[in-house]
């Protein structure tokens, strides 16, 4: 977590004198509370310094932070279904004041330290039975699933996307929050990854991404924004809000590059 990394960075010259740094890190688990650290270091405005620090490192976790901020600002969404929970970190940072149920194809994907953040974890084929209980959630989150390399062929991938969308609608009372690989910057290099494509924006095709943190390549499907607009329309979903992540070159006036797009959807 970036806040904890920043705290350790600030304490680096004091670590040999401290028996434990837990008292400095604990307040940072779920919020930007630097008061204990400021008191120890006898300084002020660490929040501003942290924000500058964060803007420079360009962590992959930026999209997770933006998801957390969205749910912090929208207090009406008290129950969340995390469709494609991944490591479980998003559920962990959303836990305060929220009830989170997660779904993954295997429990092994969710890290042990995050499993307690979930009220319940649905695994693979258990999802069908869970949907039949007709339990509905204030918000359904689907982060970086639709643009994933879901199948070897476009035809199969589109069938899976339709199935996912149907499940999202069935699980939601009214709101769905979707995060996708930003289709507007499908052939670009950011501070966290390089996306390579020799095809055109308008075509649906596979792109290769090199993740700088792991130095590994992965495959994603590129779909133009119009594809998502038509997809949501078919499932009677209205785009309530849309925003993008930035990178270290982004200014308040222009996004020079963006890895992620966030879509807040409402059932019509």
Q: Please write the tens of the pLDDT for every residue from 21-50.
A: 777 777 776 667 778 878 888 887 777 776
Q: What is the mean pLDDT of residues 95-119?
A: 86
d(CA 183, CA 201): 8
Residue-level pLDDT at 59: 43
Q: Are residues 103 and 220 in the same domain?
A: yes
Counting Cβ atoms within 10 Å, is residue 205 exposed (0-12), middle (13-18) or buried (19+)? Answer: middle
Q: Are residues 41 and 89 in the same domain?
A: no
Q: Are residues 124 and 62 in the same domain?
A: yes
Q: Are residues 37 and 159 in the same domain?
A: no
* CATH number for position 205: 3.40.50.150
- pTM for the model stands at 0.74
d(CA 184, CA 188): 10
Judging by DSSP bridges, how do beta strands 137-143 and 237-244 pair with one another? unpaired
Q: Extract long-range pairs of 29-32: CB within 8 Å, 24+ residues apart.
A: 29/1, 29/4, 30/93, 30/95, 30/96, 31/96, 32/3
pLDDT class of 65 with cuts at 50, 70, 90: confident
Query: pLDDT (tens digit, 9 = 90+) per residue, 200-250?
Result: 888 999 999 888 877 888 889 999 999 999 999 999 999 999 888 876 555
Most confident region among 41-45, 62-66, 193-197, 221-225 by mean pLDDT? 221-225
Query: pLDDT (tens digit, 9 = 90+) per residue, 237-254?
Result: 999 998 888 765 555 545
Say how far residue 77 (Cα) sits from the centre of its chain: 16
Q: Are residues 39 and 147 in the same domain?
A: no
Q: Are residues 27 and 133 in the same domain?
A: no
Most confident region among 41-50, 114-123, 169-178, 196-205 by mean pLDDT? 169-178
Q: Are residues 100 and 213 in the same domain?
A: yes
Q: What is the mean pLDDT of residues 142-161?
A: 92
Residue 23 carries which DSSP code?
H
Residue 22: give the domain boundaries. 2-56
Q: Which of 56, 78, 97 is the last residue of a domain?
A: 56
Q: Which residue do the tokens 């699980």 mark?
A: 171
d(CA 202, CA 68): 31
Residue 137 has pLDDT above 80, yes or no: yes
Q: What is the mean pLDDT of residues 168-189?
A: 93
Q: Are residues 148 and 221 in the same domain?
A: yes
Q: Are residues 75 and 203 in the same domain?
A: yes
Residue-level pLDDT at 101: 95
Residue-level pLDDT at 23: 74
């Amino acid at each position: 977590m970036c806040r904890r990394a920043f705290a350790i960075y600030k304490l680096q010259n004091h670590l040999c004198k401290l028996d434990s740094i837990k008292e400095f890190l604990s307040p940072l688990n779920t919020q930007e509370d630097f008061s204990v650290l400021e008191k120890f270091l006898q300084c002020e405005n660490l929040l501003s310094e942290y924000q500058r620090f964060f803007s420079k490192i360009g962590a992959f976790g930026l999209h997770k932070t933006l998801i957390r901020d969205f749910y912090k600002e929208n207090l009406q969404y008290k129950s969340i279904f995390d469709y494609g929970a991944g490591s479980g970190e998003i559920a962990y940072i959303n836990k305060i004041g929220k009830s989170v149920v997660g779904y993954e194809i295997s429990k092994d994907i969710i890290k042990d330290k995050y499993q307690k953040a979930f009220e319940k974890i649905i695994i693979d084929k258990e999802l069908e039975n869970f949907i039949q209980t007709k339990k509905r959630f204030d918000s359904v989150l689907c982060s970086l699933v639709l643009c994933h390399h879901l199948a070897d062929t476009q035809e199969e991938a589109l069938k899976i996307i339709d199935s996912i969308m149907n499940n999202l609608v069935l699980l939601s009372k009214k709101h769905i929050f979707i995060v996708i690989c930003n289709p507007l910057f499908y052939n670009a290099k950011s501070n966290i990854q390089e996306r390579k494509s020799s095809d055109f924006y308008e075509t649906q095709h596979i792109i290769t991404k090199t993740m700088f943190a792991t130095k590994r390549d992965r495959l994603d499907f590129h779909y133009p924004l119009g594809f998502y607009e038509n997809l949501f329309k078919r499932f009677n979903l209205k785009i309530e809000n849309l925003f993008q992540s930035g990178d270290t070159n982004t200014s308040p006036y222009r996004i020079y590059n963006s890895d992620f797009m966030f879509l807040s959807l409402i059932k019509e």
